[in-house]
Amino acid sequence: MKLLSQVRLVLTDLDETLLTDDKQVTPRTMAAIRRLEEEGVRVALCTGRAVEATRPIAESLGLHHLVCCNGALVRNSAAVLAEQTMPPEVTAELAHFFGSHGVVYYLMTPEGFYVSEINEAVNRASQMRGYAPPLLQPGQEYTRAHKVMAPGAGPLFAKTQSHFGHLAHIIYHPDYLEIAPEGIDKSWGARRLAAHLDVPQHQVMAFGDALNDVELLAWAGVGVAVANAMEETRRAADFVTLSNNEEGVAEVLERVLRAREAGEDE
């Protein structure tokens, strides 16, 4: 067992990991996070979400550090600490590609979080997310982007990879595609946040469930997959906890707290 008592930075994914299926942070999970913060262990959200859809959750938990857009944007409450973006021409090519296939897409940019079309599915997603991105205006797709997300584009993965695999990092999910700048994943942002906080790799714990968490869990000193995680994500982790609906993150954080109190590991 890795030394839980030495953990000084916790990075956790949101959807299907920290959040229950109804997009809530349970009181038990909130209490564990706040106790760790009180003891000087930094907790940061590390998510594919845009900062606009992440900040309200961070504020409700009293957290100050975010790794958003699958690692492409790292910031605290006051400033951007590190970022990488796709060039405007790549963003515009991706927008044209998905638009030509009738796929609604989201752009996460330094200027804001936008959607190419507003329809019933987008409204449902906005309600679930707690943030409704504004409509992208003509010509606005020519911009630097931290991430492009294309719901429903899973069947286009091979074609997207063929067209853009040399220009960007494309993450497959059966229900959507996520496109980040070339060479960027959650571990890129996690490394930079850890360096900013002066926390060595072996004292970092990370939680996740999906393919965009694989590099993060493999890099962290202690990588933890929730029970509902995809098989590849489970293989990248040091161990598997309970599911998101069973408060798996809280269960491990409480073990960290007990280890710290005892001065040794279970």
Q: What pLDDT, on a 0 to 100 scale, did the predictor assign at position 266? A: 53
Contacts of 122-130 with CB under 8 Å at 24 or more apart are: 125/151, 128/23, 129/23, 129/49, 129/53, 130/23, 130/53, 130/56, 130/57
- Give residue 262's pLDDT band: very low, low, confident or very high (50, 70, 90): confident
Query: What type of residue sits at position 15?
Result: D
Residue located via tokens 């959200």: 45
CA angle 213, 136, 18 (to 5 degrees): 25
Residue located via tokens 């804001």: 112
Average pLDDT, the chain: 95
Tell me if 45 sits within 8 A of 75, measured CB to CB. no
Q: What pLDDT, on a 0 to 100 scale, did the predictor assign at position 184? A: 97
Lowest mean pLDDT among 25-29, 124-128, 216-220, 224-228: 124-128
- Domains of the chain, with CATH numbers? 4-83+185-262 (3.40.50.1000), 88-181 (3.30.1240.10)
Q: What pLDDT, on a 0 to 100 scale, did the predictor assign at position 264? A: 63
Tell me if 116 sits within 8 A of 37, measured CB to CB. no
State pLDDT tens for residues 184-235: 999 999 999 999 999 999 999 999 999 999 999 999 999 999 999 999 999 9
Nearest-angstrom CA–CA distance, 167 and 19:
32
pTM of the model: 0.94
Q: What pLDDT, on a 0 to 100 scale, did the predictor assign at position 183? A: 95
State pLDDT tens for residues 59-76: 999 999 999 999 999 999
Average pLDDT over residues 19-25: 96
Q: What pLDDT, on a 0 to 100 scale, did the predictor assign at position 142? A: 97
Q: Is the pLDDT of residue 260 over 70?
A: yes
